[in-house]
């Protein structure tokens, strides 16, 4: 089947389409537009990849703009495009207009990627055709292009960030699983209420009765006066151990919460319960998620580079019985930094502080009595940690902030950490 645009897009697609952002999302949109036979002009403030650096002089030449998640609603280019009468759609929204299969949307402050990967794995284990897409790294536009818009029996498991959710207009989900809610992305949303409202826009675009929200989501909704359907609540916290999950990534929290959300949706779909537990036994976490790197002189090193917010760091620290040597810091994302340090203080033996937030973190550490040192590089942080750690200690890279001040992304940060650990002068013992 060919890709057919909806009626309201046919005229705008006849003119050159403006694509904002030269990253993964923008590249995938260009591919989809090419498949549609449409002309496109790529715009990116940094240039590169043949992109035009300034949209404002030509704003009136484009009737359709498709933008990457990094473009906030108030970005001057989007404001100008809207003022000129253009239709402006986020990449996820645009791609959804050509999708014929089912969509299970995954959102939350933490756990989105793991739950997206797990549900995709679980569906495939039943012989269902499922693909992970969205914020997970495979743009939805690319999946639409590669599958010719999908088929009714194909399921797209879409990780949806707040950046993507806040501007959705046409996207419709057959189910939404909202794992949890905690402080994050306040550099974009300003307040927790705005952050919540961005994600709530996704829930509002979901089939009635098919929203599954974890305990912290329900708590915040009640506290802040947001409406969630009563049947959306999933009691995702405080569950006792389940022997059927022993030895799986979901054996303990915070990953247990992901399994409970998956199980709630699985029951609604009337899929066999044991199949989900079997899928859990065959599932492995992706890299940079509280992964044991190795042991050096009785000290164990852990890579949790994907922990880019406070909630994720607190979840990681909860896995250790004794205070750890914590490597933290990075590009600021807003939020109550002092409150974060106060909460983690009892679980931190010593903090090695990195990146643009290191000075502010150091100030909070002084207030809350956390021993610490400011480090100019990750290499220095690892070296200092190794020098002061004693046998039985754990060194944990769990930054709590974005990576873009010093690294290409969180994967680069985690890979550099593992390289440093793996190349210590004496033997590293791996499990």
pLDDT tens digits, one per residue of 55-97: 999 999 999 999 999 999 999 999 999 999 999 999 999 999 9
Q: How high is the pLDDT of residue 1?
A: 55
Counting residues of the chain whose pLDDT is more than 90, the rounded percentage is: 96
Tokens 């809610």 sit on residue: 181
Domain ranges in the chain with CATH number 3.40.50.720 = 13-91
Mean pLDDT of the residues in the chain: 95
Domain ranges in the chain with CATH number 3.40.1190.10 = 98-281
| In the predicted structure, residue 430 carries a pLDDT above the cut 80 | no
CATH number of 98-281: 3.40.1190.10
Over residues 343-369, the pLDDT tens digits come to: 999 999 999 999 999 999 999 999 999
| In the predicted structure, residue 45 carries a pLDDT above the cut 90 | yes
The CATH superfamily of 291-422 is Mur ligase, C-terminal domain (3.90.190.20)
Torsion over CA of 332, 334, 338 and 343, rounded to 10 degrees?
-90
* 354 in Cβ contact with 327 (< 8 Å): yes
* 145 in Cβ contact with 207 (< 8 Å): no
Torsion over CA of 330, 331, 332 and 333, rounded to 10 degrees?
-110
Entry field: residues in the chain: 431
Q: How high is the pLDDT of residue 425?
A: 65
Alpha-carbon distance values, 49 to 194, 264, 416 (Å): 34, 44, 27
Residue range 146-163: mean pLDDT, rounded: 96
Over residues 226-273, the pLDDT tens digits come to: 999 999 999 999 999 999 999 999 999 999 999 999 999 999 999 999
Q: How high is the pLDDT of residue 228?
A: 95
Residue 429: band (very low, low, confident or very high) from pLDDT cuts 50, 70, 90: very low
| In the predicted structure, residue 394 carries a pLDDT above the cut 80 | yes
Tokens 């009635």 sit on residue: 208
CA nearest to 319, candidates 280, 345, 294, 347: 347
Residue 428: band (very low, low, confident or very high) from pLDDT cuts 50, 70, 90: very low
Q: How high is the pLDDT of residue 157?
A: 98
Residue 424: band (very low, low, confident or very high) from pLDDT cuts 50, 70, 90: confident
Beta carbons within 10 angstroms of residue 377's beta carbon? 13
Is-above-0.95 flag for pTM? Answer: no
Residue range 211-228: mean pLDDT, rounded: 97
Better pLDDT: 424 or 140: 140
Integer Cα distance of 14 and 106 in angstroms: 34
Counting residues of the chain whose pLDDT is more than 70, the rounded percentage is: 98
Integer Cα distance of 248 and 44 in angstroms: 43
Q: How high is the pLDDT of residue 427?
A: 39
Right CATH number for 13-91 from 3.40.50.720, 3.40.50.300, 1.10.150.120, 1.10.3720.10? 3.40.50.720
CA nearest to 350, candidates 378, 319, 322: 322
The two beta strands, 348-353 and 324-328, are parallel
Residue 341 makes CB contacts below 8 A (sequence gap 6+) with 361, 364, 365, 367, 368, 370
| In the predicted structure, residue 49 carries a pLDDT above the cut 90 | no
């Amino acid at each position: 089947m060919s890709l057919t645009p909806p009626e309201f897009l046919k005229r705008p697609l006849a003119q050159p389409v403006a694509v904002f952002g030269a990253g993964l999302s923008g590249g995938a949109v260009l591919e989809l537009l090419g498949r549609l036979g449409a002309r496109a002009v790529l715009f990116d403030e940094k240039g590169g990849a043949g992109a035009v650096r300034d949209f404002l002089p030509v704003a009136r030449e484009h009737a359709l703009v498709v933008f990457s998640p990094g473009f906030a609603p108030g970005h001057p280019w989007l404001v100008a495009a809207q003022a000129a009468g253009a239709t402006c759609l986020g990449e996820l929204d645009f791609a959804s207009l050509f999708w014929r299969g089912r969509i299970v949307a995954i959102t939350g402050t933490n756990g989105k990627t793991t739950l997206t990967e797990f549900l995709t794995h679980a569906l495939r284990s039943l012989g269902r055709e499922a693909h992970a897409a969205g914020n997970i790294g495979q743009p939805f536009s690319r999946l639409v292009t590669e599958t010719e818009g999908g088929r009714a029996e194909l399921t797209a498991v879409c990780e949806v960030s707040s950046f993507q959710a806040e501007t959705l207009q046409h996207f419709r989900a057959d189910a939404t699983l909202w794992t949890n809610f905690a402080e994050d992305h306040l550099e974009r949303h300003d307040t927790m209420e705005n952050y919540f409202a961005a994600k709530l826009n996704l829930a509002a675009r979901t089939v009635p009765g098919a929203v599954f929200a974890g305990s912290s989501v329900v708590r915040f909704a009640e506290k802040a006066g947001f409406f969630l359907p009563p049947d959306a609540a999933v009691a995702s916290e405080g569950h006792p151990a389940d022997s059927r999950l022993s030895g799986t990534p979901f054996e303990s929290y915070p990953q247990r919460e992901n399994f409970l959300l998956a199980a709630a949706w699985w029951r609604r779909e009337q899929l066999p319960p044991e199949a989900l537990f079997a899928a859990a036994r065959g599932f492995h976490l992706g890299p940079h998620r509280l992964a044991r790197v190795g042991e050096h002189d009785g000290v164990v090193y852990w890579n949790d580079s994907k922990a880019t917010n406070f909630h994720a760091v607190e979840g990681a620290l909860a896995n250790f019985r004794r205070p750890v040597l914590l490597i933290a810091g990075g590009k600021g994302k807003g939020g109550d930094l002092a409150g974060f340090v106060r909460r983690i203080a009892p679980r931190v033996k010593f903090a090695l502080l990195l990146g643009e937030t290191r000075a502010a973190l150091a100030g909070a550490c002084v207030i809350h009595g956390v021993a610490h040192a400011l480090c100019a590089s990750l290499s220095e942080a690892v070296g200092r940690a190794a020098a002061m750690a004693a046998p039985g200690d754990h060194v944990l890279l769990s930054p709590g902030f974005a990576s873009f001040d010093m690294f290409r992304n969180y994967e680069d940060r985690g890979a550099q950490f593992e390289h440093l650990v793996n190349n210590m002068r004496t033997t590293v013992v791996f499990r």
